[in-house]
Structure formats: C-alpha cells, structure tokens
Amino acid sequence: MTDPFVVIGGDAAGLSAASKYRRESPARDVVVFEQGSWVSYAHCGTPYFIKGDVEHLRDLQSLSPRDIEERGIDLRRDHEVTAIDTKSDVITVVNNGESFEYPYEELLIATGARAISAPIEGADLDTVFTLHGLPDATALRSFLTPPAEFDSANLGGGAALTTSVAEQYGAMQPPETIAIVGGGYVGVEMAEAFSAWDCAVHLFQRPERLLPAFGTAVGDAIASTLKKAGVTLHLNEEVERLTETDGQLDDIVYGGGNRLNVDAVLIGIGIRPNVELLTETSIELGTTGAVAVDEYGQTNVENVYAAGDVAELKQIVTGETTWSPLGLPANRAGRAIGATVGGSPTQVGHVAETAMLKAFELGCGRTGVLEHDRAEAAGFDPITKTITAGSRSGYYPGAEETTVTLTADQKSGQLLGGSLVGADRAAVRINTIATALGAGMTVGELEQQDLGYAPPFSPVWDPVLVAAKVLNGKL
C-alpha cells in the first residue's frame, strides 16, 4: 500500500484535483489539508455577497465539507502545512497547536494567493480592508449592514472565525464615505457594491485609466459609467498615507497633501501567490514569482505538482510563461493533475487570460494580448482597432452600443487579443474571440465565421465580425 495523494489547499484547484483523482483512482487515499475552516468557496462571488445580491455567506460555498467527504476525500480543515520535505516525501502539519508529520506519494501545492496591502502608513487600521477570502468579505458586509438588519448567522456563516469577525464589524456604525485604492477588478466591482449601500465612494487609481488589462476603450467606458453612478474617480493619483486618531481612521492623504475624510478604505492593488511554504524546499519558482510547472502541472520535483493561483501557466498567444490567477484555469489545472496522478496523464492547458467583469449596467470582457509592448516582446508587430456596433438590430428594443477592440499581428494577420464592453449581453461575446484565439485564427478567418443573427439577440453583422472586418481592412 503506497502513501496517499496529498493536496495542500481546499479550494478550486485542490478540490478539483482531489475529486478527479478520487473518480479515476478509487483504491488509494487522497487527503486535503486546508489551513482555514472554509473550503470550496467562490472567491469571485465575494463582491456580490458584500453588495447584498447574495444573501448568506454559505451561498458562496459550492461544496460543503460533508459533500467533499461523501466524495471519498479525506478533508482536514484547520490544518496548516508548515513544511515540505521533498527528500523524504513528508509534510509537517499543525492542527490545534499540535504538529505532526504526514507522508505523501504525490503532493499538490494549491495554496492560492492573497491580497497585498499598500506599503503606506495607516494600512493596518481596523477599517482598512483588503478583499481576499471569506473573513474579509464577512467583515465588509457586516460593517456595511445597518445594526438593525445585522444577522451574524447569515453573515458569519456559522464558522467561528467569520462569525467573530461578523460580530466585531456588525457592532460598528456603518461607513458613509469609503475610499478604494486601486482600479482593477476588485476596485471596480467594489465601487458597485459600496454604492449599493448608499456610500459616497472615492476610487483612487495610480495609472491614468481603470482596468488597464482591458484596454483603453473598456477603461474609458467603465470610468464614465462609474462617474454616472456617483463614484468620484481620482485617476493618475497617488495615495500617500492614512491618518488616524486614537487608532481610528481619519483621512486619506493623496496627490501631494490633499485630504479626504473617510470611514473605511479598501485596498485592491493586487494579489501575490502564497509561495512562502516553498522557501526552504528545492521546489523552484518561475520568473513571475509563482511556482514553475511543466505542461502537466509538475514542478521541478518529480512527484510534486502545483496548480491554481500559486502556479504559472503558459499563455496561448505568446507561448510565454504567465501568472494568471483566475477561476477556470485553476479548476482545469487541478482536474488535469487529479487525472495525471490517477494514471491518465492530462495536460493542464494554456490560458488566454480571458476575463469578464460587471460594472453597474456594463459588462466587459478581455482575452489574449492587447498590450503592444507585450506583443512586440513576443515578436509580433501589433495593430489595434476599436469599433462600436449595436448589440441587436437597430430597430429592435433594447439594442445597446457594444464596443469591440481587436489586436492582430500586421505581418501574419494572427489575432492576438480582444476586449469588449456594453450594456446588453456584451461580456459573453468575449468567448467568440477567445475561441478564435484558441484556434490560432487570423483576423480574416474570424471575419468569415458564420455567427448567429436574430433581431432580439444580434445584428446581421455581430459586433465581433464588424471589428474583424475593420481590422482586416487595415492589414
């Protein structure tokens, strides 16, 4: 009897691997160590829980611990892995203050990522938040909820840590003015969530545009929608520090001494992979700072794998190594590693870095490589065009502008990336572009695709085809 397949981390990648492995290989044990008490939760759903669109914290959990155990997975919550010995194939685990060793036959590192805070004075105050994980989400929702409506069972979800966080913030006076530092995914989604609680929202962004990864057309459209919704934008603006009185947040100081009195600050300036556990091991990191893996998700150590937000992947357009901490690649890589360890070698796949985002009434999407400097570094000669077309036939009620940007290589015509934004079913249209990218199509080939037409859903020439036609005409 060999040792079990051991997984560190009970979220998307870890549990996908364990579940797939269990189905492929019923004979041998699979053990998942999770340092927290929550497993299998939808990280991307936290802004909607904070906003109140999702009522209970438990709704964000896609599998309960019981579901997981019923799948035949040995789940150990509140178990922190503190060391990995790749020579003896043993990990050190701490639970409830007790430390023990545990042997593995294969190991999957799926420790995820965490939000980084700003290196500024005041960032450690009680009402200065980051958002990554359920305790953060609970704290923010509880803080925003008026004391009369507060319900720690819903908002704390029944677990000890989140319930105590809920009680701490639920007892406080709700914030009226909130500053968001950072205009990426978290910043934009949380501007909507805070506005829903009638807070005055100020968003500070160091670059000159929101959502740089989505390109200028999307960034401009989102900025205009945020402003229309009452969010005050401070673009191209540096936040300097946060001031306090007796441990209570007072002002956000920015742009050479300007001050704004705020009740809370959310810092959404990025996340980093949780790789600290690997410092003392021979497991190598890649240039991005995440764990380097091969096409099967295997690290440089033969029986050690890594997947999800802690690991790198290959970019489908450039072939380069990238760190793209998103939900689908995490699930897919986990599942592939579960199959591989279970005896059916399966590649973890490439990423196009496809993403979608909602900002008030707008939906937007991006995929591939939009940035010219990045395309040039990969040997391409990029050209970009942006068009605006209707989402439905012009005469059909509900038609809205859809703005599509496509980038291609001028020499070969190869499609490199795209983004789009609009108020009527825009976001899902990114999948057309992502699929064309995945197929390695040229812009001319994309233009020839036989996409659907029906007045309530799409004009004769789908906005993506219009963009392909215009860009192809410039090649």
Contact 286, 312 (CB under 8 A): yes
Would you tell me how many other CB atoms lie within 10 Å of the CB of residue 410? 12
User: What sign does the dihedral 430-431-435-441 (CA atoms) show?
Assistant: negative
- Exactly one of 161, 455, 470, 475 binds its own copies (CB under 8 A); which one? 455
Residues 91-150 that bind its own copies (CB under 8 A): none
Sign, CA torsion 157/338/437/417: positive
Should residue 320 be labelled a site residue for its own copies when binding is judged by CB under 8 A? no
Among the candidate windows 214-222, 234-242, 337-345, 425-433, which touches its own copies by CB under 8 A?
425-433
Near its own copies by CB under 8 A: residue from 80, 449, 470, 475? 449
Tokens of 220: 């401009």
Looking at 23, 25, 37, 44, which residue is catalytic? 44
Judged on CB neighbours under 10 Å (0-12, 13-18, 19+), 423 is: middle
Tokens 């742009």, residue located:
255
We find the least distance from the C-beta atom of residue 259 to its own copies, in angstroms, to be: 35
Under rule CB under 8 A, residue 360 binds its own copies: no
Figure out which of the listed residues 363, 382, 390, 422 binds its own copies, where binding follows CB under 8 A: 363
Q: How many CB atoms lie within 10 A of CB 17?
A: 34
Told to check if 425 binds its own copies by CB under 8 A, we report yes
Q: How many residues bind its own copies (CB under 8 A)?
A: 65
The Cα-based distances of 261 to 117, 126, 143, 176 in angstroms read 20, 16, 18, 10
Q: Does 53 bind its own copies (CB under 8 A)?
A: yes
- Residue 59 lies near its own copies (rule: CB under 8 A): yes
> How distant is the alpha carbon of residue 214 from its chain centre?
14
Binding mask 7-26 for its own copies (x = CB under 8 A): -----x--------------
Q: Which of 333, 355, 387, 415 binds its own copies (CB under 8 A)?
A: 355
Token pair listed for 52: 């109140």
Determine the interface stretch with its own copies among 67-75, 155-163, 225-233, 392-400 (rule: CB under 8 A).
Answer: 392-400
Q: Which stretch binds its own copies (CB under 8 A): 29-37, 127-135, 165-173, 451-459?
A: 451-459
64 lies in the site for its own copies, by CB under 8 A: no
Give the closest residue to 421 by CA, choosing from 131, 273, 219.
Answer: 219
- When asked if residue 316 is in the footprint of its own copies (CB under 8 A), the reply is yes
441 near its own copies, rule: CB under 8 A:
yes
Residue number with CB closer to its own copies (50 or 262): 50
With respect to its own copies, which residue has the nearer C-beta, 42 or 161? 42
* Rounded least distance, CB 367 to its own copies, Å: 7
Under a CB-based contact definition with an 8 Å cutoff, are residues 297 and 307 in contact? yes
Residue 137 Cα distances to 11, 41, 60, 90, 172, angstroms: 16, 12, 11, 34, 16
Q: Identify the residue among 210, 211, 356, 466 touching its own copies (CB under 8 A).
A: 356
Residue placing its CB nearer to its own copies in the complex, 7 or 441: 441
* 434 is an interface residue for its own copies by CB under 8 A: yes
Q: 25, 37, 62, 412: which one contacts its own copies (CB under 8 A)?
A: 62
Q: Is there binding between residue 377 and its own copies (CB under 8 A)?
A: no
Q: How far separated are the first and last CA of the chain, in Å rounded?
A: 62
Q: What is the helix (H) or strand (E) element at residue 100, kind and residue range?
A: strand 98-103
* Under 8 Å between Cβ of 232 and 194: no
Min. distance of Cβ 400 from its own copies in angstroms? 13
| CA 415 vs CA 242, 385, 420, 428: distances in Å | 45, 12, 15, 18
44 among known catalytic residues = yes
In angstroms, the CA 344 to CA 338 distance is: 9
C-alpha 291/C-alpha 311 separation (Å) is 4
Per DSSP, the residues of 255-299 read TTTEEEE-SEEEE-S-EEE--GGGTTSSPPB-TTSSBP--TTSB-
* Residue closer to its own copies, measured from CB, 145 or 419: 419
453 binds its own copies (CB under 8 A): yes
Among 111, 162, 331, 386, indicate the residue that binds its own copies (CB under 8 A). Answer: 331
CB of 157 to its own copies, least distance (A): 13
In the complex with its own copies, which residue's Cβ is closer, 44 or 90? 44
Q: Using an 8 Å Cβ cutoff, are 349 and 413 in contact?
A: no
**Nearest-approach distance from CB 166 to its own copies, in angstroms:** 18
Using CA atoms, how far apart are residues 292 and 178, in angstroms rounded to an integer? 38
Q: Can you read off the two tokens belonging to residue 3?
A: 């040792």
**Is residue 365 close enough to count as binding its own copies by CB under 8 A?**
yes
Q: What positions carry a catalytic annotation?
A: 44
- Note the residues at the interface with its own copies (CB under 8 A): 12, 42, 44-45, 48, 53-54, 59-60, 62, 316, 326-329, 331-332, 349-358, 363, 365, 367, 393-397, 425, 427-432, 434-436, 438-439, 441, 445-446, 448-458, 460-462, 464
